[in-house]
Amino acid sequence: MYTVKALFFTLQGEGAHTGRPALFCRFSGCNLWSGLEKHRTHAICHFCDTDFRGVDGLGGGHFETADALADTLLNHWPDDTSPPFIVCTGGEPLLQLDQTLVDAMHQRGFEIAIETNGTLLPPTGIDWICVSPKGRANVVITQCDELKLVYPQPDSMPERFSHIQAKYYYLTPMADPHADDDITLYRDSITADTISYCLAHPRWRLNLQSHKIINIA
């Protein structure tokens, strides 16, 4: 059984695949926060801006088998000759994304990317792994394609992850999870500090959440 909050087709807004059309599968649930505001203050991850509870999003639901979910995902990809590209996110996708589902998606031609907090080991064969460490949580993935860190986090400063091998290293300025004005999202001192860190440590690049700037899902 797989529990999915939402399925939606849009542009990837962040990281090395920014601007690429992608099908997003948002799995329900996370191991670093319940998703309830009353638990936010004491959660390991307390700045989350994503609703990952339940199955009430667009295309969300319970899927009994990997084949049923993979078939549904393929039906969301436009009738086109390009190979389908899926981004598995959450919540924490590795609470549910198992080898059976990875194989079922690959059988249907999917290129599979995940966005994970890095606290759980992935099944084999995932094509693109983006690790985004949160708070004091222990990160067990030591090799990935993108290391994408929200900055600054006192318990997760970039130096803590210098041992992780990645093709790309990104810093994302921390945003207010309750902000209702995305236009001003990156005009603040946190963004200025993030830029300064990148300039002083050129391994790191600035990552902006472009989907918020252009106001798409």
Q: Is 50 a catalytic residue?
A: yes
Q: Return d(Cα 87, Cα 21) in angstroms, integer.
A: 10
User: Rule CB under 6 A: is residue 18 a binding residue for ligand SF4?
Assistant: no
Q: Is 48 a catalytic residue?
A: yes
Select from 88-96, 102-110, 181-189, 201-209 the region that touches ligand SF4 (CB under 6 A).
Answer: 88-96
Q: Quick one: which of 30, 94, 114, 130 contacts ligand SF4 (CB under 6 A)?
A: 30
User: Rule CB under 6 A: is residue 94 a binding residue for ligand SF4?
Assistant: no
Q: Return d(Cα 122, Cα 170) in angstroms, integer.
A: 21
Q: Return d(Cα 15, Cα 19) in angstroms, integer.
A: 9
User: Rule CB under 6 A: is residue 110 a binding residue for ligand SF4?
Assistant: no
Select from 26-34, 75-83, 106-114, 140-148 the region that touches ligand SF4 (CB under 6 A).
Answer: 26-34
What does residue 90 show for φ and ψ, rounded to 5 degrees? -160, -140
Q: Is 49 a catalytic residue?
A: yes
49, 56, 155, 176: the catalytic one is 49
b/e map 177-208, b = 16+ CB within 10 Å: eeeeeeeebbeeebbeebeebbeeeeebebbb
Q: Quick one: which of 117, 156, 191, 207 contacts ligand SF4 (CB under 6 A)?
A: 117
Residue 80: half-sphere exposure toward Cβ, Cα within 13 Å: 9
Q: Return d(Cα 185, Cα 172) in angstroms, integer.
A: 11
Q: Quick one: which of 59, 60, 91, 93 contacts ligand SF4 (CB under 6 A)?
A: 91
Please give the residues from 31 up to 70 whose contact with ligand SF4 meets the rule CB under 6 A.
Answer: 32-33, 45, 48, 50, 52
Contact residues toward ligand SF4 (CB under 6 A) are 30, 32-33, 45, 48, 50, 52, 90-92, 117, 134
